[in-house]
Each structure stands twice: as structure tokens, then as C-alpha cells.
Chain A
Amino acid sequence: MKLHSPAFEQALRRGVNRAVRNSPELRRERRLAKRRRRASRLLWLGYLVYVWFAGLAVYAAAAKTGRVATGLAVINLLMLGSLHLLAQALWKRLHTSSDNAALVLLPIPRERWFRWQWQKFLRQSLLMLFVLLAGFGTLAGFLALPPWKWAAAFLVALVSWTVVLALAAFCTARQIRGPLAAITSGLILVVFAALFGRQFVLPVVLQALDQAAPALNLFLPTGWPVSLFQTLTADGPRWPLLLLLPVGLVFWTVRDSCRRLCDGFHYQEVILPDFADLAPETVAATLPADRPVQLGPTAIEEIIQSRTFLAPPVWPQRGRLELWLWRRFSPRERALADFVFPNGYALTARWLRIVKVFAVVSALALVAGLISPGSQEWTLAVGMVITGFLTLGQMINHGRAFHLLQFGGVNIPMHAGYGVGFVELSRLLSKCALLQLPLLLAFAQTAGVTAALIAGLPPVTGWVFGLKAGGLLFASRFIFATLGFSAGTNDTAGFRFRPLLLLGTIVLVGVAFAGLGGVGLFLRNDPAVAWGCCLGALLDAYALVWIYRWFLQFGRFDLMSQVRR
């Protein structure tokens, strides 16, 4: 569907081409525009890698288990995992697309508007079709199917694609979001766990998938079209043809889903609510509960004249840890802390939450051990990962310092807009982390000993592991501060010597940190080497701050980045 006249567009294009040909300046502009377009080819490279990865995953599953059904289950799960992303893409296209602001001005009925956005969504979801083609193509190659069956395999891919789109429309129209998001997150976690724990996790995942494949393909709606492929295999069963019935049912819902989506598709200008005044906390505390939403000019004048608005923030008084940290800041650091954490820096409540989560996980692991000994370690491992992420999040919290602001068509990080330097900022963030180090080490050691006791290992092993892990978590602060600073700039953009050198250095330091940290944590035979590696990882992370400072000082990069369109 087009919202304009193709004949007019063609005539316009011819006119523009003629004008460009006749002007050297415009020809130059066009060359530059083409160069810009090349940057988007990198995105296509990313898509290509994703499609290749999908094909590889399907092949690996089928080859390792020797069963087509397992490969099909991988395709099935890929579709299931993508369902949330597709539903989200459809929702965004209909309700938050930037086109809407322009389309609302055009005299077109809502149905046409909806069809226009729906078509754009279909184009957007073509990547899924390529993933499915890669998956089924890989399986067809694996089974060495004859050419006509290849054609049938591609037909199955097409049917699968339409089914997943119909399901996305179904879920979007009925606002089914939570379960889809949970499924996608869970699947992503499993993929990462399988990738990084290839030795231990991947065989378990494969085995579980192999066992569950027939059930997954039969009971999951995304498995119904996928199962049709089984009829193409030599001596394959014919019963999957019966699944055409539920597939037809899914197709039947499309009309209703589209009607619901179209009916619920109202674009309107966002009207902000009437905001209440944000009185300083000390003033707000003295106001009666039924105070007016907005203060009068006299009250505001009093707040200014009494310098209440300039008084130090109230957050240090919210907890002991916060106060302890605040007292150790210099006056400049206090000003910076107020800038970086304008809503306060939560310590006590966050650490209490981490401890609570760990206590719950330990209790769950103990209970799981009573029911099934095998599940105890898994529960504990999952719990450790969750608490690990929570602790890491607390250690690397850098507040608003690296938030992006728009300035004349580019994004600039907040610190650049307010003239805050890298050294003072990284020093403040490191100090925040350093003052939490005793807490971190105490928690990590307790967690290590508890985990060791539950897993039946000597407590000393857990204690040492916790100590090392705590130290490494602290060291990661240096790396994350530098990455945060680098993220809002164009320091590693472009293919020039200096950006490549910086990028190479960051990657090298990151890999060295991961390698040294990994060896330091898991090497048991030689404690001296293990401790040396941990120390090396700490120094490596700290060195990155100084190396980046050198690049920042002498580098020619900007503290801004182009707005992504």
C-alpha cells in the first residue's frame, strides 16, 4: 500500500536526478549520502551472523543427537523466543512509531494508516523468515533431501513465518506480554549459559532438548508448522499433517487480531498531567499531609532565601552506610555526587536486599537438596548468578553521569555538558566502590562459605573463592567506569588508526581481565599463581583508567556521538 502517487514520485525522482547531475556540489552531497548508507551495511552483517548462528544451532542440535526432531525443536524455540520481540515490534510500530506524528496530519482513514504500519511491520519481520529458511535449509542439507523436498522445506518455512506473525498479532491484540517476556529472557539465559559453559551446560541442555523435543513440537503452537517438516524425511510420520488443523486455527485468528489491533489503534498527542511541586525534602517533611499540590511564591521565596535549596542532599541521612560514605567525600566530591546521583545513592537498602536474596536462595537450595540432591547445586548456581548480578549492579552504579543529552543533532554525555572531567568522575565512582569493598568482601566470603557448605566442599575453599570473587567484582568498577565514559563518545568510531588502537586496547585489557580473573578464581593446584592472576586482573583493570585518560587527553575524539536514526 502506498500513501502517495507513484507517478508523482517517479517524476520527482527524475527531476532530482537531473538537478544532481547538473551540480557538482549536489553530486558531492550524493556521494557523501551513499557513504553514510554504507554504515547501515554493518547492521546487515549483524543480521547475517544471526541467521548463520541460527542455522549452525539447528545443525549442531540435529548432528549431535542424530535426530531431526531436536533440530526442529531448536527452530521451534527460536520462533518462541522471537515471538515476544515480534509482538513488541508490532506494538511499537503501531503506537510509538515516529511515522505516527506525520501520518496524523494526513487526511487518511485509520484503516489505511493501520495497513501502512502493518506492512512496515511485515517488512521488519523478514529477518525471521531468513532465520527459518536457514534453519529448514540446514536440516534439508543435513538429510540430503532431493530438490523437490527442498522446495517443500521452504514452503514449511513460509508457513512457519506466517504462523509466528499470526501469533505475534494474537498476543499484541490481547496484550499478552509478561509470559512472552519471561520465555524470551529464559531462552536467552539458556543460550548464554550453553555458550559460556560449553563443557558442562551444553551437554545437559542438549540432552534435555532431545528428550523434550517431541513434546515441545507437539504442544507449543510454534511447533505445529515446524513439525510438518517431519513428513519430508524418508519414512517420516504422516501424522504431523494433522497439525495443519491447529495451524489453520491460528490463521483464522489473524482477522480478529487485526480488527482488534485496528480498533485499539488510536494515536493521540501525549498530554502531560498537572505536576505537583517538588519541594526540598526537608521542607516537604514539615508540610502537612493534606498540603497543597503547588506551593505559593512566598513559600518558594523562603526556600531560596533560607538557602534550603542549596543545602546538601538529604540522602546521606537515609542510612548509616550512606552517611559513612558522605563523610568521606571532599567538598568537590559532594558536588559531583549530587550531580551523579541527584535522587540519592542507595546503599543500606540495596545491600540488605542482596543479603535477603542470598538468604532466600540458600534456603531454597537446602530445601531442593532434601527433595532431589541434583537440583541443589542448580538452585544454588542460579541464586549465585542472581546475587552476583545484583552485587555487580550495586558496585558499577554510575547514576546519571553517562546519560545522553541532545545537542544540535548529536548526543552528548551529561558529564561533557556540565564540564565534569574524566579523572574526577572516575575517582568519585571508584571511591563509592572502594568504600563498599569491606561490605562486598564480607558478603562474598559469607556467600562463598555458605555455598561451599551446601555443596559439601571445605569451607576454606568457599572463603577463598568469595574473597577472590569480591576483589574481582571491585576491580570491574574501573573497567565499567571507563566503558561508561567511552560509551557516549565517538572515541572508537571509524576505521582510523587511533580509534582502532583504543578499541584494541580496551578489548585486550578486557580479555586479559577475564582471563586472569578466570584463572585466578578456578585454578586450584597452584595457589600462588592463582593469587598472582587475581592481582594481575586488578592491576589490569586499574591500568585501563590511566590508559584511557592518556587517550582522552591526546586523542582527537569528540565527547559526543551521532544520534541513531
Chain B
Amino acid sequence: MKIELRGVLKTYPTGRALDHVSLTIEPGQIVSLLGPNGAGKTTLIRCLAGIAAPDRGAVYFDDQEFQRDRLDLRRRLYIMPDFPFMFWDQSILRNLAIVLRLYEADGAGAEQRVLELLREFDLLPLALRPAQSLSRGQLYKAGLVALLAVDREVWLLDEPFASGMDPHGIDAFKQHARAAAGRGRTILYSTQMLDVAERFSDAVCVLHQGAIRAYDTLDRLREGARDKDNVLEEMFRQLRESGT
């Protein structure tokens, strides 16, 4: 699904979070959202998920304007916050069942998919434990299992690499995301880890004070960089030195 933001402006009482952001993300891409704290990364994800409403401008999915009553569009994306949404008193399996039913992904084969994912993320022995008893990393992995099981066209993830997941979980997520992008899924995630973003994105979008400072594929960004192995670090250093 093609994602487009046209002149999105979002202001909070504390200041401008998104400053006339225009951006197009083609399907089948993994895009990392980078930027200092308070740059507007999470707000952008919230706007795409319909949680925050732009003051001006609009969000388009496949050239159709996204409005609150367009649940058909809303159900084509899945949002994973930094701390996954859960029914804390319910088991992981029950949480998964609720999500699968809500997203109408509980048809034939759902059980096999869930079983494989739980095994892969080492969650099978914990599948019947209440969500409140799990560690932060385990919870995030459970959230990822839900995301992978419903497999929407757009994945929106807030700080997946600062989620407390173990290296195996991170690796499994990366592999699934790569495969999903190959199937035409669009993956947008925010991160502060430049080295991860540099290796695990097709394109990067750098936000600063609510405005886009750079948005391009990594290959193109490397072309103009002096240090080709640390292109993002160099870019951030330059941004900081220029004071913008």
C-alpha cells in the first residue's frame, strides 16, 4: 500500500510536532524514521494510524484520503507501540485470538501460523501465561507475533529495536520484515540506532523539529557521503553542527 502525507501539520500545546510534512512511501519498502528526541517520529506514526489528527494536510493510502470512518483502510495497517497493547489479565494466546478475530485473520491456517511464530520467538511455553507476568522483551515479542500473524499491508512500529527483545528475537523480526517487504508490505519504524537503520532500511527519513531534513534511499545518501560506512552518523553530526 502506498502511503502519502501531504503537507501534514500537527501542533501540540508544547509546540509544533510535524511541520508541513510531505512524504511518499512506495509499497514494499522498509523505511526508518530517524531524528532526535521530540523530532516528531512518534507523532508521524500516530497520524498514520489515525490516533492523532493532523491540524492541516492529509494522509493518503493508495491515493484515498484517510478519515476516521474509513475502517477498511485502518484495518489494512497494524501499529506496534514501544510498549505493546495488551489485555494484561488475559493469556498471550487469548490476546492473539482477540487480535486475529478483530482483524479477521482467524481463517484456516491461522493456527499453524501462530504455532510457528510462537515457537520461533520462544514464546510457546509462555503462551498461556497472563500478559502481566511477562518481561518487557517477551511482551514485545508477543506483540510481534500478533503483527506477523495478522500480516497487514502496512506495519507501523515505534522503536522496535529498543524494546528489550533478545538478539534472536531481533534477528527473527528482521528476517520476517525483509520477507514481508518482498511480498509488498510497507514497513515504517522509528529508531535511534543509526547503525541498525543503516543496515536495515531501504530508505531513511530524518526528522528534526517536526520537519523532514532528509528522505532518500540509503544508496543515494551514500553517494554524496564522505564516510560511506557511517553515512547516517555523518549526517546527524552535520545536522547538529549546522544547528538545524
Interface residues, chain A, with chain B CB atoms under 8 Å away: 32, 35-36, 272, 275, 277-280, 294-297, 300-301, 303-307, 309-310, 334-336, 338-339, 342-343, 400, 405-409, 412, 414, 416-424, 494, 549, 552-553, 555-560
Contacts and interface: CB of A to CB of B under 8 A. Distances in A.
B81 A407 contact: yes
B55 interface: yes
Nearest first, the 3 A-B pairs at minimum CB distance are A277-B128, A275-B133, A278-B91
Contacts of A335: 101-102, 104
Interface residues of B, number: 55
Contact of A417 (B85, B103, B124): B85
B85 A309 contact: no
Nearest to B82: A408
Contacts of A32: 13-15
B85 A418 contact: yes
A557 B46 CA distance: 12
A39 to B, nearest CB: 8
B99 interface: yes
B133 A339 contact: no
A560 B99 contact: no
Contact of A558 (B53, B112, B128): B53
Contacts of A558: 46, 51-53
Contacts of A557: 53
Interface of B: 13-15, 42, 46, 49-55, 67-69, 71, 74-75, 77, 79, 81-83, 85, 87, 89-91, 93-94, 96-104, 106, 110-112, 114-115, 118, 124-125, 127-130, 132-133, 158
A531 to B, nearest CB: 35
Contacts of A294: 125, 128-129
A277 B14 contact: no
A422 B68 contact: yes
A335 B102 CA distance: 6
Nearest to B100: A310
A305 B68 contact: no
B14 to A, nearest CB: 5
Contacts of B69: 421-423, 549, 552-553
A313 to B, nearest CB: 9
Interface centre among B75, B103, B118, B127 (most CB of A within 10 A): B127
B111 A419 contact: no
Contact of B124 (A277, A301, A338): A301
A485 to B, nearest CB: 11
Contact of A300 (B75, B94, B106, B124): B124
A408 B158 contact: yes
Given A32-B14, A304-B93, 12 more contacts: A275-B130, A294-B128, A300-B124, A305-B115, A335-B104, A342-B89, A342-B94, A343-B89, A405-B81, A405-B85, A420-B102, A559-B52
A553 B68 contact: yes
B53 A556 contact: yes
Nearest to B42: A408
10 contacts: A35-B13, A272-B132, A307-B110, A307-B111, A335-B101, A400-B87, A405-B81, A418-B99, A419-B102, A556-B55
B154 to A, nearest CB: 12
B68 A421 contact: yes
B111 A278 contact: no
B111 A417 contact: no
Nearest to B129: A275
A303 B133 contact: no
B83 A309 contact: no
A310 B97 contact: yes
Contacts of B83: 406-407
Given A417-B79, A553-B68, A272 B42 contact: no
Nearest to A301: B115
Contact of B13 (A310, A409, A422, A494): A494
